[in-house]
Structure 1
Amino acid sequence: MQNETQTHPPHTGSQPVATVTRPFDRIAVIGGGAWGTALATVAARAGRETRLWMRDEALATIVAETHRNPRYLGDIPLPHSIRPTTDLALALKGAEAVLLVTPSLTVREMAGRVGALADPGIPIFVCAKGIEADTGLLMSALVEEVAPGRPIGTVTGPTFAKETAAGHPTAVTVACTTQPDVAPADRAAVRMALSLTTGSFRPYVSDDMAGVEVGGAVKNVIAIACGILAGAGFGDNSRAAIITRGLDEMKELAVHLGGRRETVTGLGGLGDLILTCSSRQSRNFSYGFQRGQGIPDAAVFEGKPVVVEGRHNAITVTDLARKLGLNMPICEMVRAITAEGQPIAIAFANYWAAPISAEPRAMNLQMDHPAVDAVTRHFEDKFQ
């Protein structure tokens, strides 16, 4: 296994980011769902020794014997070098880095278990997207609380697990908390980026955890709104409007939490937002699409218990925004529909009939909407 990877200056531009750095040779992927399986596939293809921790003993046995995960990515052959296990201690033994790929609601529990078993100081890259209820913590802050004393990062961006595992060209952002005492080329985000780079998987590096994490949480909520409009038969104009104004909400929250607007317009923000808001491969978009078709909440996905992170995120994002005194009307609209039972027609009419304002906030302009009744009739006709 190659111990060092040489990076080269880009063909255009003049500032190489790094000279020589060493990837992580042994990676533990915690979580055998679609995205965990996809990331394990990427790591193995990149030449990393990869262990995949899974909850289900029977499924882990099938993956070990058939090199496929029939529950999530059944038609994609997995690298034979992936070593599935249900023994968390075994999965973490000797690991140089951890990819924590479990749902946001289980991150506190799993991060605590990982922190107790993993070697001291090894980085944990939490790949769940969201904000914890009650505490209002981003996932990185949550992990830092229960597994302190180590770099905390994330791998995020416009990705569908199936396409990633199938080898479609994919770009992501690998971000990590700042390590001021470590040389730039040896920081955890750089090393993880090199550890996952393959012929089709291209990471970019960031130090803006707040920016990428806010992007990952908010985009799920905006995708539900886009899905509702699409399911009701509205077209590209409507989706473009919601994506653009949703991006504005994303920027505001990120900046208030110490993130950068530049990050939110990158892969972990705008890139992920566009993807999630434009395809029924997205569970959040698909959930919204079915609701827009008039399917009751309990009957979505044929009543199956599908995890739709945006439903949870709609509550946690707006709780945090309210605490910070921020106005996030699209996220509030989705919360009203999914958590508070407000009829879709009323929720969208309330949003669309809000006072007219300027995009540059410096104009400080606001006027009453002149056609509130027409807006109400328009959405009531569509969602009856």
Structure 2
Amino acid sequence: MQQTKNISKITVLGAGAWGTAVAIALADRHDVLLWGRNPEQMAETAAARENLHYLPGFALPASLRVGADLEAALAHVIDAHEDEAPLLILACPVAGLRPLLQQLKGRAIPNVVWLCKGFEAGTGLLPHQVVLEILGETVPGAALSGPSFAQEVARALPCALSVASTSGALRERVVAAAHGNNLRVYACDDIVGVEVGGAVKNVMAIATGAADGLGLGLNARAALITRGLAEITRLGVTLGAQPGTFMGLSGMGDLILTCTGDLSRNRRVGLALAQGKQLDTIVAELGHVAEGVPCAKSVRALAQRLGVDMPITDAVAAVLFEGVAATEMAQQLLARDPRDEVA
């Protein structure tokens, strides 16, 4: 794959921690505009040259423009010439994807790249299915996913990601724009596998955090991660994914990071559940979205509908939504009948 060194025009829609980190990482090489929907927050960010609410402690590059004017943010890429390789990056949570796409519908969007991970609540759709439903087939789309904490990307620490799309041209464009310095980007055509891995690993991180919080040990942690990968693969293959995708960055890589890294919000949810805290309290204390919480409900419903065995997901959903204690969750998983490992 031949890479270009041309400067791209990039708009990042969504000024949370991850959107801000991606904008910081790309701004030293490209013409980047970061948009947020809250005018007061964006004015504060512009004045401080730092996202004090979602990513404090990381200075914004001087070249990075920030603002709350959606029309200006979209014009930055819509009005760009093709040789400026425009990219529109959506950095919202899954819950905000459909409302944001509705604002893009009918516009001359060159392409969309989304960073969100999860299933849409209510519909059970993956992000690429939501994009297709709203924007249709005329707008090329890609998922950018993988093991990545916003704070480390903002610090320019090494990170590897996968870009998945059915459009080879868009995959090449994202790689050309994002690959470099401490970011490595690998191309993949299995968008279902990449999205399923990125979504369900958050549920497994809640389970692993709960196990660690209960003091069940490193052996239990390794078992949960491994059997969690088996669950993710079963669901993904049923949905049409390629099995090998789950051994890559957006499968095993993201799973390991989210289950073991102290910066993982979903892991912290599990740790708090082990302390007996109520879900409302946990979410309020986080102050950020923990995608594994709504995802657990969506994945359990989808797995039941498809007849896919996902005992860890079932156990996490029972703790989150049915008042089952984390200790009981662990006991239920340990009491399961034996089975062949590859089944």
Question: Smaller-chain TM-score range?
Answer: over 0.9
**Among 153, 160, 180, which residue is 1:164 paired with?**
153
Aligned to 1:241: 223
Aligned to 1:150: 139
Q: How much does 1:20 deviate?
A: 5.2
**Among 191, 202, 205, which residue is 1:220 paired with?**
202
Q: How much does 1:321 deviate?
A: 1.0
Q: What is the identity, as a one-letter code, of the residue corresponding to 2:207?
A: A
* 295-304 or 268-277: bigger deviation: 295-304
Asked if 1:175 corresponds to 2:156, the answer is no
**Among 200, 212, 216, which residue is 2:182 paired with?**
200
Aligned to 1:268: 250
Q: How much does 1:22 deviate?
A: 7.2
Preserved CA contact (<8 Å) 1:24 1:191: no
Preserved CA contact (<8 Å) 1:42 1:198: no
Percent pairwise identity: 37
Query: Larger Cα Rg: Structure 1 or Structure 2?
Result: 1
Q: How much does 1:163 deviate?
A: 0.4
If the length of structure 1 is used for normalisation, what is the TM-score? 0.83
Helix, strand or coil: the match of 2:260? coil
* Higher RCO structure (Cα 8 Å, ≥6 apart): 2
Aligned to 2:100: 110
Aligned to 2:2: 19
Q: 1:81 to 1:345 in 2, by over 3 A?
A: same
Q: What is the identity, as a one-letter code, of the residue corresponding to 1:19?
A: Q
Preserved CA contact (<8 Å) 1:311 1:339: no
* RMSD of aligned residue pairs (Cα, Å): 1.6
Q: How many residues align?
A: 334
Match runs of 1:136-147 below 5 Å: 136-147=124-135
Asked if 1:330 corresponds to 2:320, the answer is no
Aligned to 1:42: 25
Q: How much does 1:302 deviate?
A: 6.1
Preserved CA contact (<8 Å) 1:41 1:165: yes
Unmatched segments (≥5 aa) in structure 1: 1-17, 362-384
Helix, strand or coil: the match of 2:55? coil
If the length of structure 2 is used for normalisation, what is the TM-score? 0.93
Q: 1:24 to 1:115 in 2, by over 3 A?
A: farther
Preserved CA contact (<8 Å) 1:224 1:287: yes
Distance 2:182 2:288 in 1: 29
Aligned to 1:321: 303
Preserved CA contact (<8 Å) 2:11 2:73: yes
Preserved CA contact (<8 Å) 1:153 1:189: yes
Q: How much does 1:301 deviate?
A: 5.8
Q: What is the identity, as a one-letter code, of the residue corresponding to 1:33?
A: G
Aligned to 2:55: 73
Q: What is the identity, as a one-letter code, of the residue corresponding to 2:156?
A: G
Helix, strand or coil: the match of 2:58? coil
Preserved CA contact (<8 Å) 2:208 2:259: yes
Aligned to 1:287: 269
Distance 1:150 1:137 in 2: 18
Helix, strand or coil: the match of 1:277? helix
